[in-house]
A and B are shown apart, each in its own frame.
Chain A
């Protein structure tokens, strides 16, 4: 049995379907990323898995337990950092670890845990004086006190500076190397790519894609394409004088030609040359996870996870071709 089994999970807040019948499985020792913009349903999903929220429908088993009914038992086996981890103001990370060890009735060496999460230097600083990154590390440290089989990290690096993010990533990689099963939510693509073995992209309560990064790109991204920096006139010329499908991205001033065969690039370039029109840089590229993400969710997201760009304004042909969205 897999450590996490989710089937047709449903959760509504009033009329809003926050999580709409999603299903997935997380395997042992795997880092599983839930990726999506704010409001996609990531936190609701992870909180239901942690036993902090009741579900409205579907089946879930975490380490063989129903998280809501057997929360008390489950919590002995899992470690959790909630989003924007906050703790008691006047407690140091070291004291907090000892406090948790007392609560869980376990013997731990606080200094070892502090070392594991790279927090030795701030061990004796009150929580309210720690930086954002140090606070998150304190959260990680507390999640490790009961030597959990499984870790839930809800947006562990949101709002942190790049150095602090990388430091947290290092800690997470260390935990992964120890064989812990980790469920991670994030709206940072690079974070998902860096850390997760498999990713589920969520949008409006649905899982719109799932698999490894490569699988998702292969499934939902366009294939290789040629991009020529030039005018819309050039795009028309190539389209009229070849058999090729041609799209034009007005924002980037790029003529985009999907390549069914490598030789198609030659035909396109020959046409461009024939047109006597000016054109700039040429390159071939594939969709990155970023491109696929933008296509699958409602748009691009900023560093706070808010959608800042709506789909459909550009590169329409490519979008329609590449999208695997229902």
Chain B
């Protein structure tokens, strides 16, 4: 009973002190929002060209290159200026490929497309798209336009190329969609990390820990109140960033109770890790350096500002050993891809790492000296 009272009392004192410190407020709340505003502004309007995956299943044989109409059709689409094609190898299952790349827009040029075209047999180009998405209608319009143009080029102008529309429910992910979870991860990381590294080493040096050890407050109660505060701060930051993402940049993100464990475990993980760094280092200066060494790679390589899939393979492998990666991937799986089976794994990894850091922090952190 009185333990709860002490935790609350310490929580009150710490949060009030935190709110009085403009520096902490800036890094805890305002900085991530500034980042989302800047990155959102830079990338949200960057391109009006729609990225489309295309699989050309017409592999011939062609008597002359002129008879490879499929290739000519692809080239024509590519020069349209409105869509940008990415070729998908024929060995891949097209729909699975689209899902894996969180894409909804795709085109399949069927087998014997060229032969059918030349023979005047009706043939359909299959267009994948999401009916609600503007990018899908651009793709549809463009393919339709070039299909007509190819039909007109036939000597008798008969319409042979048609469009078969296939609906894909995958929402096309935009940069802002994963920037929101990325920066939520960023906020979950930096605020508790920097603050706890600093506090735990400074309090040791200035003997505030000794001072507190002379009160009935226990070190576990003290750490609990810090974790509570950073969960509160992280949740507030979460709400702010989701609001900016949705209302300012039209991010498509899902809000479900699945997010709650990540918003609790994340701050707990980095409070513990920060505490650990401050505890095992000799002085605040060393603690600061080690803290940065631990924090900065995580900050950039865990999928905070860009998806890790665009990084070289070896960096992707590094990302997989960074604790923040699993939080951000988990948030992406929940908020963007609705991939809950993936999220469960991320959550399990996050929980395990948190448990290790928390137990180590509690074990190694001492109020008083031997």
Contact = CB atoms under 8 A, between A and B. Distances in A.
A99 B13 contact: yes
A83 B205 CA distance: 12
A141 to B, nearest CB: 13
A102 B7 CA distance: 10
Chain A contact residues: over half helix, strand or loop, or mixed? loop
Interface in A46-87: 50-54, 71-72, 75-76, 78, 80, 82-87
Interface string B104-131: 0000000000000000000000000000
Interface residues of A, number: 30
B17 A103 contact: no
A80 B214 CA distance: 8
Contact of A89 (B5, B12, B21, B368): B21
Contact of A51 (B5, B14, B216, B368): B368
A90 interface: yes
Contacts of B214: 50, 52, 75, 78, 80
B298 to A, nearest CB: 28
Contacts of A103: 6, 9-10, 215-217
Contacts of B2: 105
B208 A104 contact: no
Nearest to B21: A90
22 contacts: A53-B368, A53-B369, A53-B370, A75-B213, A76-B216, A78-B214, A80-B211, A83-B207, A86-B211, A88-B17, A89-B17, A90-B16, A91-B16, A99-B13, A102-B6, A102-B9, A103-B10, A103-B216, A103-B217, A104-B216, A126-B20, A142-B211
Contacts of B256: none
Chain B contact residues: over half helix, strand or loop, or mixed? helix
Contact of B9 (A52, A85, A99): A99
Interface string B313-349: 0000000000000000000000000000000000000
A130 to B, nearest CB: 14
Interface footprint category on B = 20 to 34
A83 B213 CA distance: 15
Given A82-B211, A90-B21, A103-B6, 9 more contacts: A53-B369, A75-B215, A78-B214, A87-B211, A88-B17, A90-B16, A91-B16, A99-B12, A103-B217
